[in-house]
Amino acid sequence: DQQVKQNSPSLSVQEGRISILNCDYTNSMFDYFLWYKKYPAEGPTFLISISSIKDKNEDGRFTVFLNKSAKHLSLHIVPSQPGDSAVYFCAASRAQKLVFGQGTRLTINP
Amino acid sequence: NAGVTQTPKFQVLKTGQSMTLQCAQDMNHEYMSWYRQDPGMGLRLIHYSVGAGITDQGEVPNGYNVSRSTTEDFPLRLLSAAPSQTSVYFCASSLYRGPLNTEAFFGQGTRLTVV
């Protein structure tokens, strides 16, 4: 049973436009949500997080939105840059045990 | 500042062989964990530790053992390798704040193939 789902395996966006990556979860006990970025042959690197008591967190070009009633999480990247091309994982946490989604491969086209 | 270091980066094992994947961190993090990444399944938690001498099972612990004798090191042992254990393994560490959450830092991964 997949508790955290990223239903889009891939996404292609033009450079300079907005990239929106989506994530759904089923367990209402999760209290912390994170996005990780992964390049090939490297480990995931932390990008941005949000506590379940908030609905938005912003860090530069990256904004994470949380809709608890819908159990939905999204990551907005504006403007998208070529270096943003990577696999993005959303993760949900309770007491630091992370549950990951399957990942979405984002490709930024020039 | 090395962060989280995993060795080896690549390994090929024969079915039935045993080996240990090494993980070390220099950030004085209490919490360490092991994940495996398989195509289409994201990362899944194998084992974790909240401090030296304390370990617990994650989502997919069968076939793996861990120990935590020091804060810095958290080795993962494959007792008798099986083809189903072919995967990319990631070690991670983070500060431990009890019920509060902090972001995890990951190593570069070990790509293991069992033939």
pLDDT in tens, A95-105: 778 899 999 99
What are the pLDDT digits (tens) for B55-106? 999 999 999 999 999 999 999 999 999 999 999 999 999 987 666 667 889 9
pLDDT at B112 over 90: yes
CA A76 to each of CA B20, B29, B52: distance values in angstroms, whole numbers, following the listed order: 40, 30, 39
- Contacts with A57 (C-beta within 8 Å, 6 or more apart), sequence order: A48, A49, A50, A63, A64
B84 phi and psi angles, rounded to 5 deg: -70, -10
> Which one of B40, B42, B101 has the shortest CB-CB distance to A96?
B101
Q: What is the largest CA-CA distance in chain B?
A: 41
Distance from CA of B80 to the nearest CA of A (A): 26
What pLDDT is stored for residue A2 in this prediction?
A: 80
CA neighbor of B112 nearest in space, from B37, B62, B50:
B37
Q: What is the DSSP letter of B9?
A: S
pLDDT (tens digit, 9 = 90+) per residue, A10-45? 999 999 999 999 999 999 999 899 999 999 989 999
- How many CB atoms lie under 10 A from the CB of residue A26? 13
Residue A97 and residue B109: Cβ atoms within 8 Å?
A: no
Which residues have CB under 8 Å from B95's CB, separation 6+? Answer: B29, B30, B31, B102
